Chains A and B, each alone.
Chain A
Amino acid sequence: MSAPVALSGSSGEPPATTRVRIPASRTATPGQRQAFAEALAAWTLAGPALFFLLALYLLPVIAVVLIALTDWQLGGRSLTFVGLTNFREVFADEGFRASLLNTIVYVLVVVPSTLMLGLLIALLIESGRSCRAFYRAIHFLPFMATLTAMAIAWETLLHPTIGPVNQALAAIGLPTANWLRDESTALPVLAIIGVWQNLGYAMVLYLAGLKGIPQDLYDAADVDGADLWLDRLRTVTLPMLGPISMFVVIVVALRALESFDAVKLLTQGGPGHASEVLLYTLYRESFEYLRTGYGAAVAVVFLAIVLTLTVIQVRVLDRKVHYQ
Protein backbone atom coordinates (compact mmCIF):
# COMPACT_ATOMS: atom_id res chain seq x y z
CA MET A 1 0.00 0.00 0.00
CA SER A 2 1.24 3.49 -0.76
CA ALA A 3 2.26 5.69 2.10
CA PRO A 4 -0.65 7.25 3.96
CA VAL A 5 0.13 10.79 2.95
CA ALA A 6 -2.83 12.43 4.55
CA LEU A 7 -4.69 11.24 7.59
CA SER A 8 -7.81 13.13 6.66
CA GLY A 9 -7.20 11.80 3.20
CA SER A 10 -9.04 14.17 0.90
CA SER A 11 -7.83 14.33 -2.66
CA GLY A 12 -7.83 18.11 -2.44
CA GLU A 13 -5.53 18.30 0.57
CA PRO A 14 -2.11 19.86 0.07
CA PRO A 15 0.77 17.37 -0.13
CA ALA A 16 2.86 16.74 3.00
CA THR A 17 5.68 19.07 1.99
CA THR A 18 3.53 22.18 1.78
CA ARG A 19 1.97 21.26 5.06
CA VAL A 20 5.14 22.08 6.94
CA ARG A 21 5.43 25.50 5.39
CA ILE A 22 1.97 26.89 6.02
CA PRO A 23 2.20 27.18 9.82
CA ALA A 24 5.43 29.13 9.44
CA SER A 25 3.85 31.86 7.34
CA ARG A 26 0.39 31.79 8.90
CA THR A 27 -0.88 31.11 12.37
CA ALA A 28 -2.98 28.12 11.36
CA THR A 29 -2.90 25.28 13.86
CA PRO A 30 -2.96 21.63 12.77
CA GLY A 31 -6.61 21.57 13.85
CA GLN A 32 -7.46 24.46 11.54
CA ARG A 33 -5.62 22.85 8.67
CA GLN A 34 -7.55 19.65 9.19
CA ALA A 35 -10.81 21.60 9.33
CA PHE A 36 -9.91 23.32 6.07
CA ALA A 37 -9.09 19.99 4.41
CA GLU A 38 -12.38 18.53 5.65
CA ALA A 39 -14.36 21.49 4.35
CA LEU A 40 -12.60 21.29 1.00
CA ALA A 41 -13.33 17.56 0.77
CA ALA A 42 -16.96 18.11 1.76
CA TRP A 43 -17.57 20.78 -0.87
CA THR A 44 -15.81 18.70 -3.49
CA LEU A 45 -18.06 15.75 -2.70
CA ALA A 46 -21.24 17.80 -2.44
CA GLY A 47 -20.44 20.19 -5.30
CA PRO A 48 -22.00 18.29 -8.21
CA ALA A 49 -25.17 17.55 -6.25
CA LEU A 50 -25.40 21.17 -5.11
CA PHE A 51 -24.96 22.41 -8.67
CA PHE A 52 -27.84 20.26 -9.92
CA LEU A 53 -30.02 21.05 -6.89
CA LEU A 54 -29.64 24.74 -7.71
CA ALA A 55 -30.02 24.34 -11.47
CA LEU A 56 -32.89 21.83 -11.47
CA TYR A 57 -34.85 22.67 -8.32
CA LEU A 58 -34.11 26.04 -6.74
CA LEU A 59 -33.72 28.20 -9.84
CA PRO A 60 -36.71 26.63 -11.66
CA VAL A 61 -39.00 27.26 -8.70
CA ILE A 62 -37.86 30.88 -8.55
CA ALA A 63 -38.28 31.08 -12.33
CA VAL A 64 -41.84 29.78 -12.24
CA VAL A 65 -42.82 32.44 -9.68
CA LEU A 66 -41.15 35.14 -11.79
CA ILE A 67 -42.85 33.94 -14.99
CA ALA A 68 -46.18 34.04 -13.15
CA LEU A 69 -45.54 37.70 -12.29
CA THR A 70 -44.63 38.80 -15.84
CA ASP A 71 -46.23 38.80 -19.27
CA TRP A 72 -43.43 36.66 -20.74
CA GLN A 73 -44.52 34.09 -23.32
CA LEU A 74 -42.70 30.97 -24.42
CA GLY A 75 -40.11 32.00 -27.01
CA GLY A 76 -40.74 35.68 -26.37
CA ARG A 77 -37.91 38.21 -26.07
CA SER A 78 -39.59 40.94 -24.05
CA LEU A 79 -40.86 40.75 -20.53
CA THR A 80 -42.75 43.19 -18.33
CA PHE A 81 -43.59 42.86 -14.68
CA VAL A 82 -47.37 42.65 -14.48
CA GLY A 83 -47.87 41.90 -10.78
CA LEU A 84 -50.80 39.70 -10.04
CA THR A 85 -52.47 40.07 -13.45
CA ASN A 86 -51.93 36.39 -14.32
CA PHE A 87 -53.37 35.30 -11.00
CA ARG A 88 -56.37 37.58 -11.47
CA GLU A 89 -56.92 36.07 -14.90
CA VAL A 90 -56.58 32.56 -13.50
CA PHE A 91 -59.06 33.08 -10.70
CA ALA A 92 -61.51 34.90 -13.00
CA ASP A 93 -61.48 31.88 -15.33
CA GLU A 94 -64.47 29.64 -14.83
CA GLY A 95 -62.47 26.66 -16.07
CA PHE A 96 -59.79 27.15 -13.42
CA ARG A 97 -62.35 27.64 -10.66
CA ALA A 98 -64.02 24.40 -11.73
CA SER A 99 -60.64 22.69 -11.78
CA LEU A 100 -59.76 23.94 -8.29
CA LEU A 101 -63.15 22.91 -6.93
CA ASN A 102 -62.90 19.47 -8.60
CA THR A 103 -59.46 18.98 -7.09
CA ILE A 104 -60.75 19.85 -3.62
CA VAL A 105 -63.76 17.55 -4.01
CA TYR A 106 -61.54 14.79 -5.37
CA VAL A 107 -59.11 15.06 -2.44
CA LEU A 108 -61.96 15.25 0.09
CA VAL A 109 -63.48 12.06 -1.35
CA VAL A 110 -60.31 10.10 -2.00
CA VAL A 111 -58.50 10.78 1.28
CA PRO A 112 -61.14 9.61 3.81
CA SER A 113 -62.18 6.64 1.64
CA THR A 114 -58.58 5.55 1.15
CA LEU A 115 -57.87 5.94 4.85
CA MET A 116 -60.89 3.99 6.03
CA LEU A 117 -60.45 1.16 3.55
CA GLY A 118 -56.70 1.04 4.16
CA LEU A 119 -57.23 0.89 7.91
CA LEU A 120 -59.95 -1.74 7.63
CA ILE A 121 -57.80 -3.98 5.46
CA ALA A 122 -54.76 -3.47 7.70
CA LEU A 123 -56.83 -4.42 10.76
CA LEU A 124 -58.18 -7.50 8.99
CA ILE A 125 -54.71 -8.59 7.93
CA GLU A 126 -53.19 -7.95 11.35
CA SER A 127 -56.01 -9.71 13.22
CA GLY A 128 -54.94 -13.14 12.03
CA ARG A 129 -51.69 -14.91 11.42
CA SER A 130 -52.18 -16.69 8.11
CA CYS A 131 -51.60 -15.39 4.57
CA ARG A 132 -50.49 -11.92 5.72
CA ALA A 133 -47.88 -11.42 2.99
CA PHE A 134 -50.31 -12.69 0.35
CA TYR A 135 -53.10 -10.27 1.27
CA ARG A 136 -50.68 -7.41 1.64
CA ALA A 137 -49.25 -8.09 -1.82
CA ILE A 138 -52.68 -8.15 -3.51
CA HIS A 139 -53.86 -4.92 -1.96
CA PHE A 140 -50.55 -3.14 -2.62
CA LEU A 141 -50.42 -4.15 -6.29
CA PRO A 142 -52.31 -1.13 -7.78
CA PHE A 143 -49.97 1.29 -6.02
CA MET A 144 -46.99 0.17 -8.06
CA ALA A 145 -48.65 -0.89 -11.31
CA THR A 146 -48.26 1.55 -14.23
CA LEU A 147 -51.37 3.72 -13.92
CA THR A 148 -51.37 4.66 -17.59
CA ALA A 149 -51.84 1.01 -18.53
CA MET A 150 -54.28 0.30 -15.72
CA ALA A 151 -56.37 3.35 -16.68
CA ILE A 152 -56.99 1.74 -20.08
CA ALA A 153 -58.10 -1.43 -18.28
CA TRP A 154 -60.51 0.71 -16.23
CA GLU A 155 -61.79 2.29 -19.42
CA THR A 156 -62.73 -1.11 -20.82
CA LEU A 157 -64.39 -2.08 -17.52
CA LEU A 158 -66.47 1.10 -17.69
CA HIS A 159 -67.18 0.95 -21.43
CA PRO A 160 -70.85 1.86 -21.97
CA THR A 161 -71.70 -1.21 -24.09
CA ILE A 162 -69.05 -3.88 -23.73
CA GLY A 163 -67.93 -3.04 -20.18
CA PRO A 164 -68.72 -5.62 -17.49
CA VAL A 165 -69.75 -2.87 -15.05
CA ASN A 166 -72.74 -1.83 -17.15
CA GLN A 167 -73.48 -5.45 -18.07
CA ALA A 168 -73.60 -6.42 -14.40
CA LEU A 169 -75.80 -3.42 -13.53
CA ALA A 170 -78.17 -4.20 -16.39
CA ALA A 171 -78.32 -7.85 -15.34
CA ILE A 172 -79.64 -6.94 -11.90
CA GLY A 173 -81.95 -4.25 -13.25
CA LEU A 174 -80.01 -1.16 -12.17
CA PRO A 175 -79.55 1.87 -14.41
CA THR A 176 -76.37 1.97 -16.48
CA ALA A 177 -74.30 5.02 -17.40
CA ASN A 178 -71.68 6.25 -19.82
CA TRP A 179 -69.39 6.66 -16.82
CA LEU A 180 -66.54 8.65 -18.33
CA ARG A 181 -68.66 10.83 -20.64
CA ASP A 182 -71.31 11.86 -18.13
CA GLU A 183 -70.82 15.08 -16.18
CA SER A 184 -72.21 13.63 -12.99
CA THR A 185 -70.12 10.43 -12.97
CA ALA A 186 -66.73 11.32 -14.53
CA LEU A 187 -65.16 12.79 -11.39
CA PRO A 188 -66.61 10.15 -8.99
CA VAL A 189 -65.26 7.39 -11.25
CA LEU A 190 -61.81 9.01 -11.26
CA ALA A 191 -62.04 9.21 -7.46
CA ILE A 192 -62.81 5.49 -7.27
CA ILE A 193 -59.74 4.80 -9.40
CA GLY A 194 -57.76 7.05 -7.03
CA VAL A 195 -58.95 5.11 -4.00
CA TRP A 196 -58.24 1.81 -5.76
CA GLN A 197 -54.71 2.96 -6.51
CA ASN A 198 -53.81 4.39 -3.11
CA LEU A 199 -55.50 2.22 -0.51
CA GLY A 200 -52.59 -0.25 -0.51
CA TYR A 201 -50.30 2.63 0.40
CA ALA A 202 -52.49 3.58 3.39
CA MET A 203 -52.69 -0.11 4.29
CA VAL A 204 -48.93 -0.67 4.57
CA LEU A 205 -48.52 2.53 6.59
CA TYR A 206 -51.24 1.35 8.98
CA LEU A 207 -49.69 -2.12 9.19
CA ALA A 208 -46.47 -0.45 10.33
CA GLY A 209 -48.46 1.60 12.84
CA LEU A 210 -50.17 -1.51 14.21
CA LYS A 211 -46.82 -3.25 14.68
CA GLY A 212 -45.66 -0.28 16.73
CA ILE A 213 -48.38 -0.53 19.36
CA PRO A 214 -46.80 -1.98 22.52
CA GLN A 215 -48.26 -5.27 23.76
CA ASP A 216 -48.38 -3.85 27.31
CA LEU A 217 -51.27 -1.62 26.33
CA TYR A 218 -53.36 -4.60 25.28
CA ASP A 219 -52.42 -6.40 28.49
CA ALA A 220 -53.46 -3.36 30.50
CA ALA A 221 -56.72 -3.16 28.58
CA ASP A 222 -57.26 -6.84 29.41
CA VAL A 223 -56.87 -6.11 33.12
CA ASP A 224 -59.29 -3.23 32.78
CA GLY A 225 -61.85 -5.63 31.37
CA ALA A 226 -61.63 -4.83 27.67
CA ASP A 227 -62.18 -8.44 26.68
CA LEU A 228 -63.81 -8.01 23.34
CA TRP A 229 -61.90 -7.29 20.16
CA LEU A 230 -64.09 -4.26 19.57
CA ASP A 231 -63.37 -2.89 23.07
CA ARG A 232 -59.64 -3.19 22.48
CA LEU A 233 -60.01 -1.60 19.06
CA ARG A 234 -61.84 1.35 20.61
CA THR A 235 -59.69 1.79 23.74
CA VAL A 236 -56.21 0.93 22.47
CA THR A 237 -55.79 0.41 18.72
CA LEU A 238 -57.59 3.43 17.26
CA PRO A 239 -56.26 6.00 19.76
CA MET A 240 -52.74 4.69 19.25
CA LEU A 241 -53.15 5.00 15.46
CA GLY A 242 -54.16 8.66 15.73
CA PRO A 243 -50.74 10.17 15.04
CA ILE A 244 -49.92 7.91 12.10
CA SER A 245 -53.37 8.66 10.68
CA MET A 246 -52.40 12.33 10.44
CA PHE A 247 -49.32 11.28 8.51
CA VAL A 248 -51.37 9.05 6.19
CA VAL A 249 -53.91 11.84 5.61
CA ILE A 250 -51.19 14.17 4.36
CA VAL A 251 -49.28 11.71 2.18
CA VAL A 252 -52.47 10.42 0.56
CA ALA A 253 -53.72 13.99 0.09
CA LEU A 254 -50.44 14.87 -1.66
CA ARG A 255 -50.81 11.82 -3.91
CA ALA A 256 -54.42 12.71 -4.66
CA LEU A 257 -53.44 16.30 -5.52
CA GLU A 258 -50.91 14.99 -8.01
CA SER A 259 -53.32 12.75 -9.90
CA PHE A 260 -52.92 13.29 -13.61
CA ASP A 261 -52.46 10.06 -15.58
CA ALA A 262 -56.02 8.75 -15.32
CA VAL A 263 -57.47 12.19 -16.15
CA LYS A 264 -55.23 12.59 -19.19
CA LEU A 265 -56.04 9.11 -20.49
CA LEU A 266 -59.72 8.74 -19.69
CA THR A 267 -61.49 12.11 -19.68
CA GLN A 268 -59.10 14.94 -20.67
CA GLY A 269 -60.84 16.89 -17.94
CA GLY A 270 -64.23 16.56 -19.58
CA PRO A 271 -67.05 16.50 -20.28
CA GLY A 272 -66.81 20.29 -20.12
CA HIS A 273 -64.70 20.88 -17.04
CA ALA A 274 -66.45 18.13 -15.05
CA SER A 275 -63.32 16.12 -14.29
CA GLU A 276 -60.60 18.71 -14.77
CA VAL A 277 -58.07 18.77 -11.92
CA LEU A 278 -55.27 21.25 -11.18
CA LEU A 279 -52.37 19.26 -12.58
CA TYR A 280 -54.26 18.64 -15.82
CA THR A 281 -55.02 22.38 -16.09
CA LEU A 282 -51.35 23.11 -15.45
CA TYR A 283 -50.29 20.71 -18.20
CA ARG A 284 -52.85 21.81 -20.76
CA GLU A 285 -52.41 25.56 -20.31
CA SER A 286 -48.59 25.38 -20.20
CA PHE A 287 -47.85 22.82 -22.88
CA GLU A 288 -50.87 22.46 -25.14
CA TYR A 289 -52.22 26.04 -25.23
CA LEU A 290 -48.75 27.49 -24.50
CA ARG A 291 -50.24 30.12 -22.19
CA THR A 292 -47.01 30.51 -20.27
CA GLY A 293 -48.02 33.14 -17.70
CA TYR A 294 -51.33 31.46 -17.01
CA GLY A 295 -49.67 28.04 -16.67
CA ALA A 296 -47.04 29.43 -14.32
CA ALA A 297 -49.71 31.05 -12.16
CA VAL A 298 -51.55 27.72 -11.92
CA ALA A 299 -48.25 26.07 -10.95
CA VAL A 300 -47.74 28.64 -8.19
CA VAL A 301 -51.25 28.04 -6.84
CA PHE A 302 -50.62 24.29 -6.94
CA LEU A 303 -47.29 24.77 -5.17
CA ALA A 304 -48.94 26.88 -2.46
CA ILE A 305 -51.48 24.14 -1.76
CA VAL A 306 -48.84 21.40 -1.64
CA LEU A 307 -46.55 23.46 0.60
CA THR A 308 -49.40 24.21 3.01
CA LEU A 309 -50.10 20.50 3.36
CA THR A 310 -46.40 19.73 3.74
CA VAL A 311 -45.96 22.33 6.47
CA ILE A 312 -48.86 20.75 8.35
CA GLN A 313 -47.24 17.35 7.85
CA VAL A 314 -43.88 18.49 9.20
CA ARG A 315 -45.49 20.08 12.25
CA VAL A 316 -47.55 16.99 12.94
CA LEU A 317 -44.56 14.69 12.49
CA ASP A 318 -42.43 16.80 14.82
CA ARG A 319 -45.00 16.68 17.54
CA LYS A 320 -46.78 13.41 17.46
CA VAL A 321 -45.81 10.52 15.29
CA HIS A 322 -43.99 7.84 17.25
CA TYR A 323 -43.86 5.06 14.75
CA GLN A 324 -41.55 6.30 12.08
Chain B
Amino acid sequence: MSRATSIGRLSPPVAILRHAALLATGALILVPFVWMVSLSIKPPGEIFSTSFFLWPKQFYGVENYTRALTDAPLPRYMGNGLIVCAVILALQILFCAPCAYALAKLRFPGRDLLFGVVLIGLLLPHQVLSLPLFILGYHLGILNTYAALIFPYVVSPFGIFLFRQCFKTIPNDVVHAARLDGLSELAIVWKIMVPMALPAVIAFAIFSVVGHWNDLFWPLIAVRDQSLMPPPLGIMSFKNEEAGNDYGPLMAASTLVVLPLVIAFLAAQKWFVEGMTGGAVKQ
Protein backbone atom coordinates (compact mmCIF):
# COMPACT_ATOMS: atom_id res chain seq x y z
CA MET B 1 0.00 0.00 0.00
CA SER B 2 1.39 3.42 -0.85
CA ARG B 3 1.74 6.34 1.55
CA ALA B 4 -1.04 8.32 -0.06
CA THR B 5 -3.60 5.75 1.03
CA SER B 6 -2.78 6.27 4.68
CA ILE B 7 -6.11 7.90 5.36
CA GLY B 8 -7.87 6.30 2.44
CA ARG B 9 -7.86 6.56 -1.33
CA LEU B 10 -10.25 9.20 -2.58
CA SER B 11 -12.94 8.49 -5.11
CA PRO B 12 -13.13 11.08 -7.94
CA PRO B 13 -16.04 13.08 -6.48
CA VAL B 14 -14.30 13.27 -3.12
CA ALA B 15 -11.06 14.29 -4.80
CA ILE B 16 -12.90 17.14 -6.49
CA LEU B 17 -14.37 18.17 -3.16
CA ARG B 18 -10.87 18.19 -1.70
CA HIS B 19 -9.67 20.56 -4.40
CA ALA B 20 -12.77 22.73 -4.03
CA ALA B 21 -12.28 23.03 -0.27
CA LEU B 22 -8.56 23.77 -0.49
CA LEU B 23 -9.03 26.27 -3.30
CA ALA B 24 -11.68 28.03 -1.21
CA THR B 25 -9.55 28.26 1.94
CA GLY B 26 -6.53 29.16 -0.20
CA ALA B 27 -8.47 31.96 -1.89
CA LEU B 28 -9.53 33.35 1.50
CA ILE B 29 -5.93 33.25 2.69
CA LEU B 30 -4.81 35.14 -0.40
CA VAL B 31 -7.45 37.90 -0.17
CA PRO B 32 -5.21 40.43 1.64
CA PHE B 33 -2.36 39.77 -0.81
CA VAL B 34 -4.60 40.10 -3.86
CA TRP B 35 -6.24 43.27 -2.51
CA MET B 36 -2.85 44.79 -1.69
CA VAL B 37 -1.57 44.24 -5.24
CA SER B 38 -4.91 45.36 -6.71
CA LEU B 39 -4.85 48.69 -4.84
CA SER B 40 -1.20 49.18 -5.75
CA ILE B 41 -2.10 49.45 -9.45
CA LYS B 42 -5.29 51.54 -9.10
CA PRO B 43 -5.63 55.33 -9.46
CA PRO B 44 -7.02 57.20 -6.40
CA GLY B 45 -10.38 57.66 -8.12
CA GLU B 46 -10.90 53.92 -8.43
CA ILE B 47 -9.61 53.17 -4.93
CA PHE B 48 -12.20 55.51 -3.46
CA SER B 49 -15.05 54.47 -5.73
CA THR B 50 -17.61 52.12 -4.24
CA SER B 51 -17.67 49.78 -7.23
CA PHE B 52 -15.65 46.62 -6.82
CA PHE B 53 -13.04 45.61 -9.38
CA LEU B 54 -9.82 43.68 -8.88
CA TRP B 55 -8.20 44.91 -12.08
CA PRO B 56 -8.19 48.69 -12.59
CA LYS B 57 -9.91 50.31 -15.55
CA GLN B 58 -7.00 52.71 -15.73
CA PHE B 59 -3.64 51.06 -14.98
CA TYR B 60 -1.92 53.29 -12.43
CA GLY B 61 0.84 50.93 -11.32
CA VAL B 62 3.72 52.95 -12.73
CA GLU B 63 2.63 56.12 -10.88
CA ASN B 64 2.02 54.31 -7.57
CA TYR B 65 5.25 52.33 -7.60
CA THR B 66 7.23 55.38 -8.68
CA ARG B 67 5.79 57.36 -5.79
CA ALA B 68 6.49 54.49 -3.37
CA LEU B 69 10.11 54.49 -4.49
CA THR B 70 10.58 58.27 -4.47
CA ASP B 71 8.18 59.84 -1.90
CA ALA B 72 9.18 57.33 0.73
CA PRO B 73 12.85 56.38 0.81
CA LEU B 74 11.78 52.79 0.16
CA PRO B 75 15.06 51.71 -1.52
CA ARG B 76 16.81 53.06 1.56
CA TYR B 77 14.50 51.05 3.89
CA MET B 78 15.08 47.88 1.90
CA GLY B 79 18.83 48.51 1.83
CA ASN B 80 18.78 49.01 5.61
CA GLY B 81 16.87 45.74 5.99
CA LEU B 82 19.43 43.96 3.84
CA ILE B 83 22.42 45.38 5.74
CA VAL B 84 20.92 44.68 9.17
CA CYS B 85 19.83 41.13 8.28
CA ALA B 86 23.16 40.30 6.64
CA VAL B 87 25.31 41.62 9.50
CA ILE B 88 23.13 39.96 12.14
CA LEU B 89 23.28 36.61 10.34
CA ALA B 90 27.03 36.80 9.77
CA LEU B 91 27.73 37.62 13.43
CA GLN B 92 25.31 34.96 14.65
CA ILE B 93 27.03 32.24 12.64
CA LEU B 94 30.46 33.59 13.60
CA PHE B 95 29.71 33.35 17.34
CA CYS B 96 27.28 30.44 17.44
CA ALA B 97 29.12 27.81 15.38
CA PRO B 98 32.31 27.65 17.53
CA CYS B 99 30.24 27.60 20.73
CA ALA B 100 27.99 24.87 19.34
CA TYR B 101 31.05 22.85 18.35
CA ALA B 102 32.47 23.10 21.86
CA LEU B 103 29.13 21.97 23.30
CA ALA B 104 28.73 19.12 20.84
CA LYS B 105 32.23 17.69 20.52
CA LEU B 106 34.49 18.81 23.37
CA ARG B 107 34.56 17.72 26.99
CA PHE B 108 35.29 20.47 29.47
CA PRO B 109 34.31 21.55 32.96
CA GLY B 110 31.35 23.93 32.88
CA ARG B 111 29.86 22.52 29.70
CA ASP B 112 26.50 21.79 31.31
CA LEU B 113 26.49 25.25 32.86
CA LEU B 114 27.18 26.84 29.47
CA PHE B 115 24.41 24.80 27.88
CA GLY B 116 22.12 25.89 30.71
CA VAL B 117 22.83 29.53 29.85
CA VAL B 118 21.98 28.78 26.21
CA LEU B 119 18.69 27.16 27.25
CA ILE B 120 17.76 30.12 29.45
CA GLY B 121 18.43 32.42 26.50
CA LEU B 122 16.22 30.19 24.38
CA LEU B 123 13.34 30.50 26.84
CA LEU B 124 13.34 34.29 27.10
CA PRO B 125 10.95 36.23 24.88
CA HIS B 126 13.11 38.95 23.39
CA GLN B 127 10.65 41.79 24.06
CA VAL B 128 11.13 41.32 27.82
CA LEU B 129 14.77 42.29 27.39
CA SER B 130 14.00 45.44 25.40
CA LEU B 131 14.09 47.91 28.30
CA PRO B 132 17.53 46.85 29.67
CA LEU B 133 18.84 46.57 26.09
CA PHE B 134 17.58 50.08 25.37
CA ILE B 135 19.38 51.35 28.47
CA LEU B 136 22.52 49.44 27.46
CA GLY B 137 22.34 50.91 23.97
CA TYR B 138 21.94 54.37 25.49
CA HIS B 139 25.02 53.98 27.70
CA LEU B 140 27.05 52.61 24.81
CA GLY B 141 25.92 55.67 22.85
CA ILE B 142 24.78 53.61 19.90
CA LEU B 143 21.03 54.30 19.88
CA ASN B 144 19.79 55.51 16.53
CA THR B 145 22.58 53.81 14.57
CA TYR B 146 22.85 50.55 12.63
CA ALA B 147 24.65 49.12 15.65
CA ALA B 148 21.51 49.63 17.73
CA LEU B 149 19.51 47.50 15.31
CA ILE B 150 22.13 44.77 15.34
CA PHE B 151 23.69 44.43 18.80
CA PRO B 152 20.87 42.62 20.68
CA TYR B 153 21.00 39.81 18.15
CA VAL B 154 24.73 39.17 17.64
CA VAL B 155 24.39 35.81 19.35
CA SER B 156 21.37 33.55 18.96
CA PRO B 157 20.63 30.91 21.61
CA PHE B 158 18.46 29.15 19.04
CA GLY B 159 21.39 29.12 16.59
CA ILE B 160 23.71 27.57 19.17
CA PHE B 161 21.06 25.01 20.08
CA LEU B 162 20.31 24.08 16.46
CA PHE B 163 23.98 23.84 15.44
CA ARG B 164 24.80 21.78 18.52
CA GLN B 165 22.06 19.28 17.68
CA CYS B 166 23.36 19.03 14.14
CA PHE B 167 27.07 18.84 15.04
CA LYS B 168 26.32 16.00 17.45
CA THR B 169 25.16 13.84 14.54
CA ILE B 170 28.56 14.22 12.82
CA PRO B 171 30.73 11.17 13.77
CA ASN B 172 33.62 11.78 16.18
CA ASP B 173 35.91 9.96 13.75
CA VAL B 174 35.59 12.89 11.39
CA VAL B 175 36.86 15.21 14.13
CA HIS B 176 39.72 12.85 15.05
CA ALA B 177 40.76 12.52 11.41
CA ALA B 178 40.78 16.30 11.03
CA ARG B 179 42.99 16.66 14.12
CA LEU B 180 45.41 14.07 12.73
CA ASP B 181 45.55 16.17 9.57
CA GLY B 182 46.77 19.04 11.72
CA LEU B 183 43.65 21.17 11.69
CA SER B 184 43.16 23.47 14.66
CA GLU B 185 39.89 23.31 16.56
CA LEU B 186 38.78 26.57 14.97
CA ALA B 187 39.61 25.21 11.52
CA ILE B 188 37.58 22.08 12.28
CA VAL B 189 34.57 24.30 13.02
CA TRP B 190 34.77 26.23 9.75
CA LYS B 191 36.23 23.65 7.37
CA ILE B 192 34.52 20.47 8.60
CA MET B 193 31.55 21.13 10.88
CA VAL B 194 29.80 24.06 9.20
CA PRO B 195 30.04 22.63 5.66
CA MET B 196 28.77 19.26 6.88
CA ALA B 197 25.91 20.92 8.75
CA LEU B 198 24.99 23.16 5.81
CA PRO B 199 21.26 22.22 5.82
CA ALA B 200 20.97 23.36 9.44
CA VAL B 201 22.91 26.53 8.65
CA ILE B 202 20.58 27.33 5.75
CA ALA B 203 17.48 26.63 7.85
CA PHE B 204 18.86 28.91 10.56
CA ALA B 205 19.74 31.60 8.00
CA ILE B 206 16.14 31.64 6.77
CA PHE B 207 14.79 31.72 10.32
CA SER B 208 17.07 34.63 11.18
CA VAL B 209 16.63 36.70 8.01
CA VAL B 210 12.83 36.33 7.90
CA GLY B 211 12.59 37.19 11.59
CA HIS B 212 14.70 40.33 11.37
CA TRP B 213 13.36 41.51 8.01
CA ASN B 214 9.85 41.39 9.48
CA ASP B 215 10.65 42.72 12.96
CA LEU B 216 8.92 45.94 14.00
CA PHE B 217 9.21 45.89 17.80
CA TRP B 218 12.93 46.47 18.33
CA PRO B 219 13.57 48.89 15.42
CA LEU B 220 10.69 51.00 16.77
CA ILE B 221 12.66 51.36 20.01
CA ALA B 222 16.19 51.50 18.62
CA VAL B 223 16.08 54.07 15.79
CA ARG B 224 14.34 57.36 15.03
CA ASP B 225 16.01 58.49 11.79
CA GLN B 226 14.22 57.77 8.53
CA SER B 227 17.57 56.91 6.98
CA LEU B 228 18.10 54.00 9.40
CA MET B 229 14.67 52.41 9.33
CA PRO B 230 14.28 48.82 8.21
CA PRO B 231 11.28 48.03 5.96
CA PRO B 232 8.50 47.43 8.56
CA LEU B 233 9.30 50.59 10.50
CA GLY B 234 9.77 52.54 7.27
CA ILE B 235 6.42 51.47 5.93
CA MET B 236 4.77 52.39 9.22
CA SER B 237 6.25 55.87 9.08
CA PHE B 238 5.22 56.19 5.40
CA LYS B 239 1.66 55.27 6.44
CA ASN B 240 1.62 57.85 9.23
CA GLU B 241 2.98 60.60 7.01
CA GLU B 242 0.49 59.90 4.27
CA ALA B 243 -2.19 59.98 7.00
CA GLY B 244 -3.41 56.70 5.60
CA ASN B 245 -5.23 58.38 2.73
CA ASP B 246 -3.04 57.69 -0.25
CA TYR B 247 -3.51 53.96 -0.44
CA GLY B 248 -2.08 53.39 -3.95
CA PRO B 249 1.57 54.25 -3.18
CA LEU B 250 1.25 52.79 0.32
CA MET B 251 0.10 49.44 -1.08
CA ALA B 252 2.81 49.59 -3.73
CA ALA B 253 5.38 50.06 -0.95
CA SER B 254 3.83 47.18 1.04
CA THR B 255 3.96 44.93 -2.00
CA LEU B 256 7.64 45.73 -2.57
CA VAL B 257 8.47 45.00 1.10
CA VAL B 258 6.68 41.64 1.08
CA LEU B 259 7.90 40.62 -2.38
CA PRO B 260 11.54 39.55 -1.72
CA LEU B 261 10.53 37.05 0.97
CA VAL B 262 7.59 35.72 -1.04
CA ILE B 263 9.78 35.11 -4.09
CA ALA B 264 12.47 33.45 -1.99
CA PHE B 265 9.81 31.36 -0.25
CA LEU B 266 8.25 30.15 -3.49
CA ALA B 267 11.70 29.28 -4.82
CA ALA B 268 12.81 27.33 -1.75
CA GLN B 269 9.61 26.29 -0.03
CA LYS B 270 10.89 23.30 1.90
CA TRP B 271 13.84 25.23 3.30
CA PHE B 272 11.52 27.96 4.51
CA VAL B 273 9.14 25.54 6.16
CA GLU B 274 12.01 23.85 7.96
CA GLY B 275 13.72 27.10 8.91
CA MET B 276 10.62 28.88 10.14
CA THR B 277 9.31 26.01 12.21
CA GLY B 278 12.63 25.96 14.03
CA GLY B 279 13.63 22.64 12.55
CA ALA B 280 10.54 21.01 14.08
CA VAL B 281 9.50 20.00 10.58
CA LYS B 282 12.02 18.18 8.45
CA GLN B 283 10.97 17.58 4.88
Interfacial residues, chain A to chain B (CB-CB below 8 A): 1-5, 7-11, 35, 38-39, 41-46, 48-50, 52-61, 63-64, 67, 74, 117, 121, 123-131, 133, 135-150, 152-157, 161-162, 164, 167-168, 196, 199-201, 204-205, 207-208, 210, 213, 215, 218-219, 228-229, 232-233, 237, 247, 251, 254, 257-258, 260-261, 264-265, 279, 282-283, 286-287, 292, 295-296, 299-300, 302-303, 306-307, 310, 324
Contacts and interface: CB of A to CB of B under 8 A. Distances in A.
B4 to A, nearest CB: 4
A310 B120 CA distance: 11
Majority DSSP secondary structure for residues of A touching B: helix
Given A127-B8, A233-B7, A53 B155 contact: yes
Nearest to B272: A144
Contact of A9 (B134, B160, B183, B251): B183
A153 B112 CA distance: 47
Size category of the B interface is: 35 or more
Contacts of A5: 182
Contact of B250 (A123, A150, A152): A152
Contacts, number: 329
B33 interface: yes
Interface in B3-54: 3-8, 10, 15, 18-19, 21-22, 25-26, 29-33, 35-36, 39, 47-50, 52
Interface of B: 1, 3-8, 10, 15, 18-19, 21-22, 25-26, 29-33, 35-36, 39, 47-50, 52, 95-96, 98-99, 101-103, 106-111, 114, 117-118, 120-121, 123-125, 127-136, 151-152, 154-155, 157, 160, 179-186, 188-189, 210, 213-214, 216-217, 220-221, 231-233, 235-236, 239, 244, 247, 250-251, 253-255, 257-258, 261-262, 265-266, 269, 272-273, 276-277, 280-282
In the A-B complex, the 8 residue pairs with the smallest Cβ-Cβ separation, listed nearest first, are: A49-B99, A60-B132, A148-B232, A149-B254, A39-B108, A45-B98, A153-B36, A52-B155
Nearest to B50: A167
Contacts of A251: 280
Contacts of B125: 254, 257-258, 302-303, 306
Contact of B22 (A9, A61, A121): A121
